[in-house]
């Protein structure tokens, strides 16, 4: 049976609301007036059937509307007379087609709402053989049924096709009705029964008010990456989650959703965040996403994290920094020294040599960099002096070892002469050279550091030795046997005897004329493995650049 113009359904027209005008009984022709059939017959006689058909197709002549079925007229009468039980019986007797037509008639819906109570409305709708879930819920909404149980029984009805359930999501009026009807937990149950995408479910839950726990349950039930990342594409979702979540939960949400680094940081900035949470996201991001973080996202984060944290954040993006630490500690050592420089027999064991080690350690995606900032005081050095010291340190410390696991990291030591935020102050003296240490170097007028010349400036090798102290290494000359074994890792032999007293390793940390050795780098290997990224295998130290 075809729908008449008065009762055509919103489904057929692709609309979300039923037609606003109530259906009226089809009017009869006034006495003496020509009927539609009479006019058609007269036109056929004068113009022919083809002309009549053309006028109908062009809309200039309308066919007579189909009469309202007697069964619906009877239902209207019963509802008008408030005969509820009889009306329910009549609804049960309707054919599938008539049931669908009845549900689409706004005036019948209003009459039913005026006549039925909640339970009667639910029984009447349940008795119908036809109609969609959307139509039935609109009748429940018209009655303002407030019993979740009555609506729930309709939603879980196994005879309702799955598409009829997911077709509810675009219907704003039904969403508003269910939001008013349900508490947070009930809405989470409703969207599960309706099915649909993760986006559809979370959107309804967020509009109705929900909890992070309920959101997590939905995320766990939808593990597909593509479906989770769709959440970013629907603009209102960011604001809804910002209203719901705090810093930590927002960070957890974007981790669960996946997506790009820029998407994650943008949502975190919108909610409000902090440096450590931002750093965690950047560390976990693939290399190729670092440069894709937009200016807008960077600008948003300047308002949320400290100036110092933003500086580190920029280094993480632009210099591929992963982790860092400013290390500052004091060390002591012991070895034999002359008590009296004029008495070659006055050797005694000094146990209280103390110095300060301080440096910055930077773990980048391609290297581990040890940076020492030094402020030079006293005599003024030339750039030639600084080059001697920088080159001497690089010659003994760089390119000797690197780190490997499934990944390769260079190991770089970087001395910086600067007045800005120094780790150490080094006082420069005029020659003649007496004795250097980590805090006192010599600067001659010729910038000559050739040991065979003799030097009038601290040499590159001596600078490399003193640099070792700045990063935590002890002297390795005139040692006791126990100290030798602790530092070198083996018992001393007669070959290790110092010409004067004790045992000496004639290398970097004694005469300064040797390269850094693997045992000198244990501290840095341990730091790297303590701070490696989640899932990374331990690093090992490997000879070579």
Over 60: is that where the pLDDT of 45 sits? no
Give the tokens for residue 48.
Answer: 């022919």
CA proximity to 374, closest of 362, 356, 349: 356
Tens-digit pLDDT profile for residues 306-337: 999 999 999 999 999 999 999 999 988 898 99
Q: Hey, what's the torsion of the CAs at 312, 314, 315, 320, to 10 degrees?
A: 120
pLDDT at residue 6 is higher than 80: no
Separation between Cα atoms, residue 472 and residue 358, nearest integer Å: 8
Q: Domain segments of the chain: what residues?
A: 327-543
Strand-pair partners of 374: 417, 424
pLDDT of residue 50: 52
CA distance 528 to 405: 12
- Overall pTM > 0.85: no
**pLDDT grade for 36, boundaries at 50, 70 and 90:** very low
- Cα–Cα distance, 292 to 263 (Å, whole number): 10
| DSSP H/E element including 335 | strand 321-338
pLDDT in tens, 152-175: 999 999 999 999 999 999 999 999
Cα dihedral: 265, 270, 272, 275 (round 10): 20
**What's the mean pLDDT in 356-382?**
97
Q: How far apart are CA 362 and CA 327, in angstroms?
A: 11
**Residue 508: how many CB atoms within 10 A of its CB?**
22
Residue 15 has pLDDT above 70, yes or no: no
The CA distance from 24 to 35, in Å, is: 19
Q: Which residue has the higher pLDDT, 460 or 46?
A: 460
The pLDDT of residue 465 is above 80: yes
Nearest 10 degrees: Cα torsion 33, 39, 45, 46 = 90
Q: Between residues 164 and 451, which one has the greater pLDDT?
A: 164
């Amino acid at each position: 049976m075809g729908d008449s113009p008065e009762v055509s359904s919103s489904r057929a027209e692709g609309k979300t609301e039923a037609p606003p005008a109530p259906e009226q009984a089809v009017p009869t022709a006034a006495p003496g007036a020509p009927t539609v059939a009479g006019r058609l017959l007269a036109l056929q006689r004068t113009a022919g059937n083809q002309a009549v058909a053309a006028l109908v197709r062009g809309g200039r002549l309308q066919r007579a509307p189909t009469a309202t079925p007697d069964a619906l007229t009877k239902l209207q009468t019963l509802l008008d007379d408030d005969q509820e039980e009889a009306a329910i019986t009549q609804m049960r007797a309707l054919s599938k087609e008539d049931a669908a037509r009845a549900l689409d008639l706004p005036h019948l819906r209003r009459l039913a709402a005026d006549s039925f109570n909640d339970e009667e409305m639910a029984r009447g709708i349940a008795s119908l053989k036809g109609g969609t879930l959307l139509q039935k819920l609109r009748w429940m909404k018209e009655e303002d049924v407030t019993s979740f149980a009555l609506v729930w029984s309709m939603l879980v009805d196994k005879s309702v096709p799955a598409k009829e359930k997911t077709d509810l999501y675009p219907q704003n009026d039904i969403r508003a009705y269910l939001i008013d009807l349900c508490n947070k937990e009930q809405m989470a149950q409703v969207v599960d029964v309706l099915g649909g995408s993760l986006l559809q479910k979370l959107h309804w839950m967020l509009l109705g008010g929900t909890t992070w726990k309920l959101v997590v349950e939905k995320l766990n039930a939808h593990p597909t990456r593509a479906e989770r990342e769709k959440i970013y594409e629907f603009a209102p979702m960011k604001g809804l989650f910002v209203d719901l979540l705090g810093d930590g939960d927002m960070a957890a949400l974007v981790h669960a959703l996946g997506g790009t680094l820029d998407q994650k940081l943008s949502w975190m900035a919108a909610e409000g965040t902090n440096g450590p949470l931002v750093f965690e996201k950047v560390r976990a991001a693939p290399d190729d996403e670092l440069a894709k973080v937009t200016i807008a996202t960077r600008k948003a984060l300047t308002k949320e994290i400290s100036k110092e944290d933003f500086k580190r954040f920029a280094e993480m993006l632009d210099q591929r920094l992963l982790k860092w630490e400013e290390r500052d500690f004091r060390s002591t050592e012991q070895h034999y020294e002359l008590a009296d420089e004029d008495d070659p027999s006055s050797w005694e064991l000094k146990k209280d040599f103390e110095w300060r080690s301080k440096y910055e350690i930077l773990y980048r995606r391609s290297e581990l960099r040890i940076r020492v900032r030094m402020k030079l005081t006293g005599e003024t050095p030339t750039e030639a002096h600084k080059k001697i010291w920088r080159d001497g340190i690089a010659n003994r410390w760089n390119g000797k070892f690197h780190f490997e696991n499934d990944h390769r990291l260079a190991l770089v030591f970087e001395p910086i002469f600067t007045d800005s935020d120094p780790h150490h102050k080094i006082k420069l003296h005029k020659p003649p050279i007496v004795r250097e240490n980590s805090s006192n170097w010599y600067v001659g007028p010729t910038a000559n550091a050739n040991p065979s010349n003799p030097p009038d400036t601290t040499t590159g090798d001596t600078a490399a030795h003193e640099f070792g102290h700045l990063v935590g290494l002890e002297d390795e000359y005139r040692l006791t046997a126990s100290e030798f074994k602790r530092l070198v890792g083996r018992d001393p032999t007669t070959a290790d005897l110092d010409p004067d007293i004790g045992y000496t390793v004639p290398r970097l940390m004694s005469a300064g004329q040797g390269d850094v050795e693997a045992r000198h780098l244990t501290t840095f290997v341990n730091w790297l493995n303590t701070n490696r990224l989640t899932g990374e295998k331990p690093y090992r130290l490997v000879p070579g650049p």
